[in-house]
Amino acid sequence: GQSLEQPSEVTAVEGAIVQINCTYQTSGFYGLSWYQQHDGGAPTFLSYNALDGLEETGRFSSFLSRSDSYGYLLLQELQMKDSASYFCAVPLRGALTFGSGTRLQVQP
């Protein structure tokens, strides 16, 4: 089996940097993904890490440490539109299993 742990809620101010952590327990490891979901919307794919290190895509970066079974999503220069839920996910037998999500509130 597998499980993913991430904080339920994070609050930050506009323009700041925020880090959303995810720890996972899996019987095998095949990559860590991140998704964003705005209220009432569909989840959208943000990033995928298969190897250790930092992957940067614009204001968003994702980090993975396989030895620590840990990853994080880093959001820089926060904007109000970044207020959303963020999910980490790992595959189990070919289909993604999602964490419970971290709700990010960006304040002015």
Partner 1 sequence: DADVTQTPRNRITKTGKRIMLECSQTKGHDRMYWYRQDPGLGLRLIYYSFDVKDINKGEISDGYSVSRQAQAKFSLSLESAIPNQTALYFCATSVGQEYGYTFGSGTRLTVV
Residue 27 CB, nearest approach to partner 1 (Å): 15
Q: Which is nearer to partner 1, 65 or 97 (CB)?
A: 97
Residue 15 CB, nearest approach to partner 1 (Å): 28
End-to-end, the C-alpha distance of the chain in Å comes to 41
Residue whose C-alpha is closest to residue 92's, from 5, 21, 26, 22: 26
Per DSSP, 31 falls in state -
Residue 16 CB, nearest approach to partner 1 (Å): 25
Residue 66 CB, nearest approach to partner 1 (Å): 15
Residues that bind partner 1 (CB under 8 A): 8, 30-31, 33, 35, 41-45, 48, 50, 87, 89, 91, 93-101
CA distance 35 to 107: 21
Q: Which is nearer to partner 1, 24 or 87 (CB)?
A: 87
Using CA atoms, how far residue 28 sits from 12, 20, 61, 92, 93, in Å, is 34, 23, 24, 9, 10
